[in-house]
Chain A
Amino acid sequence: MGSIITVENLSKRYVIGHQKQERYTTLRDVISHKIRGIVQRIRHPLSPNREKTILEEFWALDNINLEIKQNDRVGIIGRNGAGKSTLLKILSRITKPTTGRITIKGRVASLLEVGTGFHPELTGRENIFLNGAILGMNRVDIKKSFDEIVAFAEVEKFLDTPVKRYSSGMYVRLAFAVAAHLEPEILIVDEVLAVGDAQFQKKCIGKMNDTSQRDGRTVIFVSHSMTAISALCNKVLIMDKGKLVLDAPTQVAVEQYVNYGNTNQLSAVEWCIDKAPGDDVAKLLKVAVLNGKGVVSGSFERRESIHLQFEYIVLRKSFVPLVAQIQIMNQSGICVFMSIKPHEEKTEYGRCRYRCTCVIPAKLMKEGNFQLDIILTTPMREVHLHKKSVVSFKVNDSVLRAFYFGPIPGIVRPDLIWNTQIVSQGE
């Protein structure tokens, strides 16, 4: 079967300004800049042109070549900033490439975000039509699958309620339901599944899997979740720094990624305030993995406790406290557990710098490599910061085991309380 998508020498360049802090330009700035430049030239005609030093090029995609065949379910993985989203944006024509050429045979629909174009004032019913049209369905298609969408989202009772009154779960379900009923030849999905609850995610992946197998649909799927990738894809592309590093069957690629590509080897990291991750409400400044003596360490014995310490700054006074959470991910990208800072501790209303320490007790973790994610949200689940794989640490098990040396199943390996009694003497 011939290829349905052909990408040749695709590159994308962004020009980033170093001195300006604003997110957008104003004509006023451009004019004053130009005038300053001219004045400079008149006063110092021989000095080199200043203008050039301010702008720097950044290649988000660097000479990508790939082919995707019909009925392929392709996963794209890579660290943040590897160019995955840029590639999807170009494939879905949102932004244009700087060089190169893409040939796509078939109708493309892309889902880069859940519920794009949902309007809070409109009812569920109205939003289904609107969102469907935004995602590229026509009126007839939407009408045809309307009942199915409603059933899938489980919102029958609230069809005529404005979506601003929906719970966040209902909102996400409705948005997904519309997207799941798209019937293009090629479906492009960015990491959107992360927001729904686990059961619903499964339902969505199942639905995508079904239709792609039944109708020969091609799916391109970006995710950080190796579980989702493994469940859905038959082929995986690994990207790093704008380049395509590997194009291989899922199992090979996921293993390679997990073992080499993905692991962040740092056990402590620190940012200055203007480069720190976060938004204008809260920023993460420092993260470290410490041992019991308070020394930074990347490697632990299973009998040791692990101290995760991070500092963040709250820049704006707010009426709701920020809630800090951590997630520990294992090598397969599975979340081992998450932990939320308990409520009774000092809450973060004010503009302060905070330091949290969270202790993972000894003899809980299984041996292996782990990544730490740090999240700051409000109780209403408004995310101010979600930094994935900030630091990593390794847990070793060098205690001699009696007879068995093979791998031990399970995600954690806690030492539980065992109690054995002799109930009756042997015959």
Chain B
Amino acid sequence: MPKSILIIEPHKTMNYFWQELWQYRDLFYFLAWRDILVRYKQTAIGIAWSVLRPVLTMIVFTIVFGKIAKLPSDDIPYPLLVFAAMIPWQFFSNTFSEAGNSLINNTQLISKVYFPRIIIPTTAMVVSLIDFAISLAIFIALMLWYGVMPDIRVCLLPLLLLMAILTSLGAGYIICALNVKYRDFRYVIPFIVQFGLYISPVGFSSSLVLEKWRIIYSLNPMVGVIDGFRWALLGKDIAIYWPGFLISIGISMFLFVFGLIYFNKTEREFADII
């Protein structure tokens, strides 16, 4: 006898959301696996590219901000200061832009098969995690080279990664849902990524920001994430601005929850308008 009863109505409740996600976990796994496979099959220099990109950016930033502008680095080798910020920033920008276009790129799937749509932008995040791991490995090599040792705080790295995940997924969910509805959002995505790189403390230390502006500066959740990564990775000399950090955490969580709710609200119309 059939076990499950399914009711289809114009208005969907969130009741089954988590249960359904669990049911479709295999699909999530296979889609992530597909994206990873395809990514490293198509680009001949797949992994090399994941190594080169952060390294080149780090070199440019070190020269521009460290050597030419001579910004202070709190006694940390400038490349390390930049790279510790590059790790979460690149994770964010990859996830955000991949997730943002993910629904449009999977039009075929969305109009022909049912599954919780949230899986698609979320897989984009999993792919970015691979690049994240590669960057982290390079960073460890850099630390050995400069002889800088992290202290016990490095144990909090997973939590900081979680914060980066929440931020980028939250922003990604919102932008991809908007992108389905209004196609010109695909032009907004590269702009946000570009702009964000300069307003977030990637090339410089956020201690450069004037004390009275720091709270406002922390409204950008990536400020908290980046500061957190530096604090956890670069050892005890780095201090963290706690009020700002807490605000960033709050904003990250809000972004994620809001993104999730917004996505779920619009999800069922995707097939009609995509």
Chain A residues in the interface with B (C-beta under 8 A): 4, 14, 24-28, 30, 70, 89-108, 110, 112-113, 116-117, 119, 121-122, 126, 129-130, 133-139, 185
Given the known A-B contacts A94-B111, A94-B113, A102-B7, are A107 and B2 also in contact in the complex, defined by CB atoms under 8 Å?
yes
Closest to A114 in B: B112
B34 and A119 within 8 A (CB): yes
Interchain CB contact under 8 A, B27 and A133: yes
Let me know if A105 and B5 touch, CB within 8 A.
yes
In the complex, B42 has a CB within 8 A of chain A: yes
User: Which B residues touch A94, using CB under 8 A?
Assistant: 110-114, 271
Closest residue of B by beta carbon distance from A131? B30
Q: Is the Cβ of A102 less than 8 Å from the Cβ of B8?
A: yes
* Complex: A320 Cα to B132 Cα, angstroms: 46
Is B210 engaged at the interface, CB distance under 8 Å to the other chain? no
A122 touches B34 (CB 8 A): yes
10 interchain pairs, CB-CB under 8 A: A14-B272, A26-B183, A27-B182, A27-B185, A93-B8, A96-B8, A104-B7, A119-B38, A136-B27, A136-B115
B268 at the interface (CB under 8 A from A): yes
In the complex, the chain B residue whose C-beta lies closest to that of A139 is: B26
B residues neighboring A (CB under 8 Å):
2-10, 12, 26-27, 29-31, 33-34, 37-38, 41-42, 108-115, 178, 181-185, 268-269, 271-274
Closest to A138 in B: B26
Given contacts A25-B181, A138-B26, contact A107 B4 (CB under 8 A): yes
* Minimum CB–CB distance for A163 against chain B, Å: 12
Known contacts A14-B272, A25-B183; is A97 also within 8 Å of B113 by CB? Answer: no
In the complex the two chains form, what is the Cα distance from A97 to B8 in whole Å?
8
B2 close to A96 (CB less than 8 A): no
Query: Sorted from nearest, which 3 A-B pairs have the closest CB atoms?
Result: A106-B2, A27-B182, A133-B30
Question: Contacts A14-B272, A26-B182: A96 and B12 contacting too (C-beta < 8 A)?
Answer: yes
Residues on the A chain within 8 Å of B181, using CB: 25
Q: Are B34 and A130 interface neighbours, CB within 8 A?
A: yes
Q: Which of the residues B37, B108, B183 comes within 8 Å of A126, measured between beta carbons? A: B37
Q: Out of B30, B113, B273, which one reaches A24, CB within 8 Å?
A: B273
Q: Are A133 and B184 interface neighbours, CB within 8 A?
A: no
Q: Which residue of the partner chain, among A70, A96, A116, A139, contacts B108 with CB atoms under 8 Å?
A: A116
**Known contacts A105-B5, A119-B34: does B115 contact A134 (CB below 8 Å)?**
yes
Q: How far is the CA of A98 from the CA of B8 in the complex (A)?
A: 11
Contacting pair B114 A110 (CB below 8 A) = yes
Which single residue of chain B is at the shortest CB-CB distance from A94?
B271
Contact partner, A25, options B27, B34, B112, B182, Cβ 8 Å: B182
Given contacts A25-B182, A26-B183, A28-B184, contact A101 B7 (CB under 8 A): yes
CB distance from B194 to the nearest CB of A (A): 19
Q: How far is the CB of B13 from chain A (nearest CB, A)?
A: 12
Q: Which residue of A lies closest to B272 (CB)?
A: A95
Partner of B10, one of A24, A98, A108, A122: A98
CA distance A139 to B26 in the complex (A): 7
Across the interface, do B37 and A185 meet the contact criterion of CB distance under 8 Å? no
A4 touches B2 (CB 8 A): yes
Give the CA-CA distance A4 to B5 in the complex, in Å: 9
Write out the residue numbers on chain A whose beta carbons fall within 8 Å of the beta carbon of B112: 94, 112-113, 116
User: Across the interface, which residues of B come within 8 angstroms of A96, CB to CB?
Assistant: 8, 10, 12, 268-269
Task: Given A97-B8, A101-B7, A102-B8, check contact A27 B113 (CB 8 Å).
Answer: no
Closest to A10 in B: B8
Contacts of A101 in B (CB 8 A): 7-9
Contacting residues, chain B, for A27 (C-beta < 8 A): 178, 182, 184-185
Whether A116 lies near B182 (C-beta < 8 A) is: no
* Separation of A252 and B38 alpha carbons in the complex (Å): 51
With the chains together, A110 CA to B115 CA distance in Å?
11
Residues on B with C-beta less than 8 A from A89 are 271
The answer to whether A122 and B38 have CB atoms under 8 Å apart is yes
Query: How far is B181's CA from A30's CA once the two chains are assembled, in angstroms?
Result: 11
Q: How far apart are B35's CB and chain A's nearest CB, in angstroms?
A: 9
User: Which of B38, B114, B273 has the most C-beta atoms of chain A within 10 angstroms of its own C-beta?
Assistant: B114
Complex alpha-carbon distance, A30 and B268, angstroms: 21
CB neighbours of B184 from chain A (8 A): 26-28
List, in ascending order, chain B residues with CB within 8 A of A138's CB.
Answer: 26
A134, B29: Cα distance in complex, Å:
11
B269 CB contacts on chain A under 8 angstroms: 95-96
CB distance from A119 to the nearest CB of B (A): 6
Contact B10 A97 (CB under 8 A): yes
Query: Would you call B272 and A90 a contact (CB within 8 A)?
Result: no
Task: Closest A residue to B34 by CB, please name it.
Answer: A130
Taken together as a complex, chains A and B put the C-alpha atoms of A89 and B27 apart, in Å, by: 20
Contact flag A108-B6 (CB < 8 Å), given A92-B114, A93-B114: yes
Nearest to A103 among chain B residues (CB) is: B7
Question: Beyond A25-B182, A97-B10, is A117–B2 a contact (Cβ under 8 Å)?
Answer: no
Partner of B271, one of A4, A28, A95: A95
The docked-state distance in angstroms from the alpha carbon of A107 to that of B111 is 20
B6 and A103 contact, CB distance less than 8 A: yes
Chain B residues near A93: list those with CB within 8 A.
8, 114
Complex contacts, A137 vs chain B, CB 8 Å: 26
B110 to A, closest residue via Cβ: A94
